Amino acid sequence: MRYKQLTDGKHVLYRFFDAEGNLLYIGQTAGIGTRFASHGRKKHWWASVVRIDVEHFPDRESVMAAERAAIESEGPLHNINGRRPSSIPKVVKPATGRVYSERHSRRLRRGK
């Protein structure tokens, strides 16, 4: 089944899980096929996704509120926005020993 058939243009909240059941990411969209394709191109963790849970919402405001609450309470591994700074994973750059947040580590992996 295609992703678009699952949503039919509705506002959805989605959760990605790995094989061990770890919550990788929480997001929301009204264009699920496009959004998932974007994750597949841009996110280093995409290959680890084995399960996707989807919830439908009546409008953008309600799905955005649900997303914020879910990120804060469930602490997905790869969400940065909406998380408390102390809960964001840290990465150490081996050459310097400097510690970076997960957000900055993405730039390091790309050499920026």
State whether 68 and 35 are in the same domain. Answer: yes
pLDDT, residue 22, reads 95
List the domain range (segments joined by +) for residue 89: 80-112
**What CATH number is given to the structural domain containing 18?**
3.40.1440.10
**pTM score, whole prediction:** 0.67
- Rounded Cα distance between 88 and 41, Å, is 23
Number of domains in the chain: 2
The predicted structure's pLDDT at residue 63: 94
pLDDT tens-place values along the chain, 112 residues long: 455 555 556 899 999 999 999 999 999 998 888 888 888 888 888 999 999 999 999 999 999 999 999 999 999 999 877 554 455 555 555 666 665 555 444 444 444 4
Quote the pLDDT of residue 61. 94
Q: Are residues 89 and 107 in the same domain?
A: yes
23-29 sheet: strands from edge to edge: 23-29, 11-17, 51-57
